[in-house]
């Protein structure tokens, strides 16, 4: 099974192999990670029983120290100071203090053994990361991710350190608790009746928080990653968002993501509060209860020395051990589980393995799901019928003495340009590179605001709210996302029927791509489409959306001349205005009117008028004509004519 996990324990041995997620591998936030990691750890630990026994042997010395710390104090009081024998008292205190020395020795022994338990884990993780990186490199050349590098270096170190910390603390807790319990038992079994209930209650409460906290931690990380990804896309796509008039929708999406993050962090905080309570019950309640029960205990035969000895166990040994354990489990433990689980994540699939659309690239739901900003310029939800918003008739768009410069001191790209585009007009815009064609397209689409003058849509000043329903601007670089061909085509109009898609494919020339892919359900891998095919998909999407104003900014530049002609004729035939930034004479000639741009100087007219009166158009036509006639490889190359005076 592609994308599976290694066999149980393979991670800890560093093996590969395959294992389905199975019942224990519940999704994120369900505690599945913890269960997976624990079940993977079992065979690793079983194989190291000898090491664990040796560790335990050394740790017994720590139990002895704990035992003597309380017992020595009790004896010092009862048999020494309170009995009028201070020397005996001092002797017992010296015994309790001397117990520290073998415990220090034990620490050295523990650290020496610890390596036998920790290094194999690290070696296994590194082996696994390297083998995954290599198999990933074979499946997807050039896609050996930084994640592999991070796993080999940083993450395996985190896992090793975390695992070492966990082993040390857990071991210390177990043997300290054992020493304290034996000590309490030796002083008076009644003490256990007071001490054990809150200990068990607190421990139970703490264990009860482990799975929900792991789930909340995962929720929080997921929400955080989603917001970070969203913010990153926004930063890179402000212009596209403005193009789509999607600012409000984008703000709403940001707010939703931020609220999800807030809810996740609140939920995490609530569980953290439960954990603090567990810690208090476990560590603070036993001494408190002991003091409250002291009169009753003393009346029933407990000696004062035993009471102080018991308090020593609780405050000097148990409470710090509980605190350390819970802190380590809450911090290092959580991180360890997350890191180990990342090592068991599915390796990157081979290139021919179709992927489900990632969340951010999912096709939109009809209720207006998240819009990847990179395609936000193409739309913002299904278009509302234009007539519902605007009175019919009249020009669809109008530039009134529009001036535009890219900065306060910059030379204006457009200088007091006036232009009216009829609601059924087909206008071509031509001009040398840098003459301002794309700038004009952006102004017409409401992506850029004029520095001077005004742009109007249907007789009203441009409002970003109207953008989604009025116009589609298709740039040269077509956006196609991972998902089915149908979802890609329906993006601007989710309610579109297959019948309409078939008709569109027929007129626009998308049928070849459709038959190559097999069906509308075929998954598109954007990287496996040619630039021309991507443009066809984007054109099909725009055709189905049928906006009242369609602006093609070299959106057919990667089609061959025949395909371009077919697409443009199909668009010209449909109802609505069409503005084409043309890069071929044939494309310009099809338009009813042509706007020739030469920086701030522009001239507008029919093709015939311009051939007579516009020197730049004559130049362009003269340059393009042989290319069209020859139909050679240069036929589709756009003009790079220097500007010439009109
Ligand atoms: N974001 C920008 N910031 C500053 N200057 C810009 C920006 N975009 C375009 N320009 C400048 O504005 C002028 C017009 O650019 P524009 O892209 O509109 O021309 P164009 O006719 O579409 O060119 P091409 O045919 O090469 O796409 C150019 O001089 C360009 O360098």
Ligand 1 atom with the shortest distance to the CA of 435: 21
Residue of minimum CA distance from atom 14 in ligand 1: 436
Alpha helices in 471-530 (DSSP H): 485-489, 498-508, 511-517
For 106-149, the pLDDT digits (tens) are 888 888 888 888 888 878 777 777 776 676 555 554 444 545 66
Ligand 1 center from residue 437 Cα (angstroms): 8
Summarize the confidence of residues 94-103 as an average pLDDT: 87
The most confident of the ranges 7-11, 139-143, 583-587 is: 583-587
- Specify the pLDDT at position 102: 81
φ, ψ (nearest 5 deg) of residue 112: -65, -40
From residue 154, give the alpha-carbon distance in Å to each of 41, 396, 411: 21, 58, 51
Nearest CA to ligand 1 atom 7: 406
Token output for 425: 């007009």
Correct CATH for 363-636 of 3.40.50.10240, 3.30.565.10, 3.50.90.10, 3.40.50.300: 3.40.50.300
Q: What is the pLDDT of residue 229?
A: 73
Given the DSSP bridges, would you call strands 426-430 and 460-461 parallel, antiparallel or unpaired?
A: unpaired
Name the residue of 436, 580, 588, 639 to mutate for ligand 1: max ligand atoms within 8 A of Cβ.
436
Distance 187 CA to ligand 1 centre (A): 88
Residues 599, 601, 606, 609, CA torsion sign: negative
Residue nearest to ligand 1 atom 26, measured at CA: 433
Nearest CA to ligand 1 atom 1: 406
Residues with CB under 6 A from ligand 1: 406, 413, 431, 433-439
Instruction: Transcribe 583-599 into DSSP letters.
Output: SSHHHHHHSSEEEEEET
**E strand or H helix at 53:** helix 49-75
Distance 435 CA to ligand 1 centre (A): 7
Higher local confidence (pLDDT), 585 or 524: 524
CA of 473 to the centre of ligand 1 (A): 16
**572 alpha carbon – ligand 1 mean position (Å):** 27
* 342 Cα–ligand 1 center, Å: 45
CB-neighbour burial class of residue 28 (10 A; exposed 0-12, middle 13-18, buried 19+): middle
| pLDDT tens-digit readout, 12-68 | 543 333 333 333 333 334 456 666 667 777 778 888 888 889 888 888 888 999 999
Q: How far is the CA of 626 from the centre of ligand 1 (A)?
A: 27
Atom of ligand 1 nearest to the CA of 476: 27
What single DSSP character describes residue 400? E
pLDDT tens digits, one per residue of 219-255: 877 787 778 777 877 776 676 666 666 677 778 888 9
Q: Best of 236, 407, 408, 435 to mutate for ligand 1, by most ligand atoms within 8 A of CB?
A: 435
Using CA positions, which residue lies closest to atom 24 of ligand 1?
A: 433
Tokens standing for residue 600: 């701030």
Helix (H, G, I), strand (E, B) or coil at 393: coil
Q: Which atom of ligand 1 is nearest to the CA of 441?
A: 18
Q: How far apart are CA 542 and CA 472, in angstroms?
A: 7
- For ligand 1, atom 10, which residue shows the shortest CA distance? 406
Q: What is the distance of C-alpha 607 from the center of its chain?
A: 51
Confidence category of residue 390, pLDDT binned at 50, 70, 90: very low
Q: What is the arithmetic mean of pLDDT over 257-281?
A: 88
Query: Which residues have CB under 8 Å from 500's CB, separation 6+?
Result: 544
Higher pLDDT, 438 or 244: 438
Angstrom CA distances, 139 to 135, 221, 508, stand at: 6, 29, 36
User: What is the whole-number distance in angstroms between the Cα of residue 271 and the centre of ligand 1?
Assistant: 54
| Rounded-to-integer distance, Cα 599 and Cα 603, Å | 11
Show the CA angle centred on residue 487, arms to residues 486 and 490, nearest 5°.
Answer: 85
The SS3 call for residue 3 is coil
pTM of the model: 0.45
Pocket residue to mutate for ligand 1, from 413, 432, 583, most atoms within 8 A of Cβ? 413
- Whole-angstrom CA distances from 525 to 42, 352, 483, 502 are 41, 9, 8, 21
Rounded alpha-carbon distances, angstroms, from residue 252 to 219, 605, 613:
20, 44, 51
From 237, 243, 415, 438, give the residue whose CB has the most ligand 1 atoms within 8 Å, as the site to mutate.
438
Q: What is the pLDDT of residue 87?
A: 96
Question: How far is 483 from 490, CA to CA, in rounded Å?
Answer: 11
pLDDT at 73: 95
- Spatial separation of the C-alpha atoms in residues 285 and 98, rounded to whole Å: 29
pLDDT (tens digit, 9 = 90+) per residue, 276-333? 888 888 888 999 999 999 999 999 999 999 999 999 999 999 889 888 887 887 777 7
How many angstroms does the Cα of residue 439 sit away from the middle of ligand 1? 6
């Amino acid at each position: 099974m592609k994308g599976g996990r290694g066999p149980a324990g393979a991670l800890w041995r560093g093996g590969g192999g395959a294992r389905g997620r199975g019942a224990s591998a519940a999704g994120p936030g369900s505690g599945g990670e913890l269960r997976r990691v624990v079940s993977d750890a079992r065979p690793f630990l079983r194989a190291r029983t000898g090491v664990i026994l040796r560790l335990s042997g050394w740790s017994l010395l720590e139990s002895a120290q704990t035992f003597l710390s309380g017992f020595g104090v009790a004896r010092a009081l009862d048999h020494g100071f309170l009995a009028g024998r201070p020397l005996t008292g001092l002797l017992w205190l010296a015994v309790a203090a001397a117990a520290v020395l073998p415990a220090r020795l034990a620490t050295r022994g523990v650290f020496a053994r610890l390596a036998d338990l920790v290094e194999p884990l690290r070696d296994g993780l590194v082996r696994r990361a390297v083998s995954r990186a290599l198999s990933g490199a074979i499946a997807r050349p050039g896609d050996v991710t930084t994640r592999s590098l991070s796993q080999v270096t940083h993450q395996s170190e985190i896992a090793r350190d975390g695992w070492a910390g966990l082993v040390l603390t857990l071991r210390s807790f177990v043997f300290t608790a054992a020493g304290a319990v034996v000590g309490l038992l030796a002083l008076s079994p009644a003490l256990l009746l007071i001490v054990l209930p809150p200990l068990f209650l607190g421990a139970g409460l703490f264990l009860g928080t482990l799975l929900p906290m792991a789930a909340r931690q995962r929720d929080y990380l997921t929400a955080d990653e989603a917001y970070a990804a969203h913010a990153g896309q926004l930063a890179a796509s402000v212009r596209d968002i403005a193009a789509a008039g999607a600012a409000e929708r984008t703000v709403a999406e940001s707010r939703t993501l931020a609220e999800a993050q807030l809810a996740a962090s609140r939920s995490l905080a609530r569980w953290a509060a439960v954990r603090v309570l567990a810690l208090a019950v476990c560590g603070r309640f036993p001494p408190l209860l002991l003091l409250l029960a002291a009169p009753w205990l003393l009346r029933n035969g407990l000696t004062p020395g035993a009471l102080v000895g018991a308090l020593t166990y609780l405050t000097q040994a148990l409470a710090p051990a509980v605190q350390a354990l819970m802190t380590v489990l809450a911090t290092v433990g959580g991180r360890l589980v997350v890191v180990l689980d990342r090592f068991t994540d599915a390796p990157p699939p081979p290139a021919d393995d179709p992927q489900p659309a990632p969340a951010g690239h999912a096709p939109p739901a009809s209720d207006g799901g998240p819009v990847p900003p990179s395609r936000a310029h193409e739309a913002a939800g299904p278009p509302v019928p234009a007539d519902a918003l605007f009175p019919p008739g009249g020009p669809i768009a109008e530039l009134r003495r529009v001036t535009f410069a890219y900065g306060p001191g910059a030379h204006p790209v457009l200088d007091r340009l006036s232009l009216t585009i009829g609601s059924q007009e087909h206008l071509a815009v031509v001009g040398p590179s840098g003459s301002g064609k794309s700038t004009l397209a952006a102004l017409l689409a409401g992506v850029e605001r004029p520095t001077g003058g005004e742009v109007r849509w249907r007789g009203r000043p441009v409002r970003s709210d109207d953008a989604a329903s009025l116009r589609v601007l298709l740039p040269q670089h077509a956006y196609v996302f991972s998902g089915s061909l149908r979802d890609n085509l329906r993006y601007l109009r989710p309610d579109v029927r297959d019948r309409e898609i078939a008709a569109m494919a027929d007129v626009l020339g998308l049928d070849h791509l459709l038959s190559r892919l097999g069906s509308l359900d075929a998954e598109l891998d954007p990287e496996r489409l040619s630039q021309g095919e991507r443009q066809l998909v984007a054109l099909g999407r725009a055709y189905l959306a049928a906006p009242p104003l369609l602006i093609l900014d070299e959106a057919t530049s990667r089609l061959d001349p025949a395909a371009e002609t077919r697409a443009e004729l199909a668009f010209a035939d449909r109802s609505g205005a069409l503005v084409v930034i043309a890069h071929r004479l044939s494309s310009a000639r099809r338009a009813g009117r042509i706007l020739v741009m030469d920086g701030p100087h522009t001239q507008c007219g029919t093709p015939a008028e311009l051939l007579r009166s516009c020197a730049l158009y004559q130049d362009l036509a003269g340059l393009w004509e042989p290319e069209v006639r020859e139909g050679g490889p240069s036929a589709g190359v756009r003009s790079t004519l220097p500007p010439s005076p009109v």
